[in-house]
Amino acid sequence: MTMRGRFITLEGGEGAGKSTQATYVRDWLLAQGREVVLTREPGGSPMAEAIRAIVLGDWAEGVTPQTEVLLMFAARAAHWHATIEPALAAGKDVVCDRFVDSSHAYQGAGKGIAAEGMAALETLAIGRHRPDLTLLLDLPPDEGLKRTQARGEQNRFEFETLEFMQRVREGFLERARAEPGRFRIIDASRDAAAISAEIAGLLAGLPDQGA
């Protein structure tokens, strides 16, 4: 019987270096002889990528928190069923740049969507499934926004206020405190090589999943 793959997510605020480290995680696992799928949210399947374009669009009518969270979970449901679950079932590790914790931080803590509504959407979209390991790249919001501005390519979320991004950061940290067995908090203010070295140590201790 095929051994189920491991599901690893990377979370954090804007400019924390998630995409860089997600690629590192993928490459590290490949070097260990694992089969790996690298994906992202919102997005990760054709339908979810189409929804991503809507979510990040600059709409004259605006995007309410309610509309935003529904779109995020619609994309997540498509992503889970089309990409993540089939890969895990086939024994492949899945590395995802953002997952459900981002919705709790951004739309929940950041924009005030009630916890019970978030929980209901989460259950509808992905059931009781959770990542095996979540790497939270923690960075002060002012530093993160400086990094995104230096890149010169900002999306709608990266134009949010520092106050909003601080709520997001606290939302992530609250999730990490509530689930210490799943989360590892990583100081993302350091250089990428130091962060990657810490992540390698964490990955080395990640057990195989059962069949």
Q: Is 152 annotated as a binding residue?
A: no
The radius of gyration of the chain's CA atoms, rounded to the nearest angstrom, is 16
Strand order in the sheet with 93-97: 36-40, 93-97, 7-12, 133-138, 183-187
Q: Is 170 annotated as a binding residue?
A: no
Q: Is 17 annotated as a binding residue?
A: yes
For residue 84, what are its two tokens? 């993540």
H, E, C per residue of the chain: CCCCCCEEEEEECCCCCHHHHHHHHHHHHHHCCCCEEEEECCCCCHHHHHHHHHHCCCCCCCCCHHHHHHHHHHHHHHHHHHHHHHHHHCCCEEEEECCHHHHHHHHHHHCCCCHHHHHHHHHHHHCCCCCCEEEEEECCHHHHHHHHHHHCCCCHHHHCCHHHHHHHHHHHHHHHHHCCCCEEEEECCCCHHHHHHHHHHHHHCCCCCCC
Q: Is 18 annotated as a binding residue?
A: yes
Q: Is 111 annotated as a binding residue?
A: no
For residue 115, what are its two tokens? 């916890």
Q: Is 19 annotated as a binding residue?
A: yes
User: Binding site membership for ATP: which residues?
Assistant: 12-19
User: Binding site membership: which residues?
Assistant: 12-19
